[in-house]
Chain A
Amino acid sequence: MSKSTQHLAIYGKGGIGKSTTTSNLAAALADQGLKVIQIGCDPKSDSTTTLRGGKYLNTVLDSTRDGGKVRLEDVSVVGFGGVLCIEAGGPVPGVGCAGRGINAAIELLRDLRLFEEFRPDVVLYDVLGDVVCGGFAVPIREGLTDRVYVVTSSDFMAIYAANNLFKAVNKYAPSGGAKLGGVIANSVAQPWARSLIDDFAKTTGTRAVEYVPRSTVVAQSELYGQTVIEANPRSPQADVYRRLATTVYEDRESVIPKPLGPNELREWARRWGSLILDNEQGVVQAQAGI
């Protein structure tokens, strides 16, 4: 593995926009002339869809079905901007063990000498939802990735999931696991959303690395089966993703987060609930920040 290669894991609550963010990040990094691999670590196998422009991609675990020899070209396809797209795959819903699947797929990719052969500048791991079991923590553990980024909105359940992910990072980082690069605030729409996410990041000892506004450009690009970088390269939204790409590639600061305990998180959320209510009712307090 090249020493200069950066391995970055993107986590976040299901449906929060991880794959959209990761794919646009990959496209923006590639747009800057970097060699990028995106590995979808989700049995749904839809992480790289907008990068592939509809090209078929056999998943890593599907390729092992017949027990024959697997080659890199069987489980990867070159997408927009030269991004090498890979999907780990997994069992159909309701059977098997997807967590073990992530583990096995990454092991196989290492055996295939993916990183030595492709020599990427950046590898992005787009990982399913919460760290529901040890298998989904594989990209964090054992020094596989350099940094973890957590995508969150200002919804409490997304913050709750982010806090859980911080617990996983906190657990593995001291023994060589990845540290936290920061939070990517997604679907920022309300005026107070940015302050809420900033406050959560500050309270847990981290930072927000970018604020991605809610935009119809994203939905429109996905309906075309493309990233924003490809479909709307001159849009302000594309610039946001480019800025995010620059930050995560150049700013390599990372920390071990300090996740909140259940009661602390509940109190923090309640305080924000009151602040938002006051804001809507026009109550002005000093240093409210919203």
Chain B
Amino acid sequence: MIVHLTASIRKPETDAPYLQLITETIHDHGAVLAHNWLDDALSRNKNDSPSNWTAYVEENLEAIKRCDVVIVELTYSSFGSGFLIAAALEHKKPILAVSRGKVKSHTASGLADSLFTYKKYTTTDSLASIIDSFLDKNTIHTKDLRFNMFLTRATFKYLEDTSRETGKSRSEIIRELVKQKADKDAHHA
């Protein structure tokens, strides 16, 4: 699983333990960071920012496209966080935003998208637990997944008939239909 982590760092000495904990929790899950910018950001001088911000923004947008989920540390309201969350929503990535500040008084609390979760944490323990639960919920195993569903009589009959005609199994027929629809939607997006 690929995770893109984004955050605005105002006070590295305060923020570092929390951001490092998020990274460790991601690694403990066997997941990897899409773009490891954190070590550089925490070690560099406060006034020494990336020399090419266009490239930096592009790298972040690319990382969002490649990743499976996005985690945003939102204690400080920042232009960059808003920009990247909008990008993640466009690319339909599940997003977890975490903050040590008041959740209800932040614009992000108004994002009603089902892909977006916004949680407050107070301690490193509560942060680890929130990250754990988000990663557990959004992990898609690489092996094939078993899926059960109910079919109406008419749908079942259609599948039986099509299976007989084509020699394909019912599951194959459904998988092909879903794949075609996904390809079509991706094409139109």
Chain B binds chain A? no
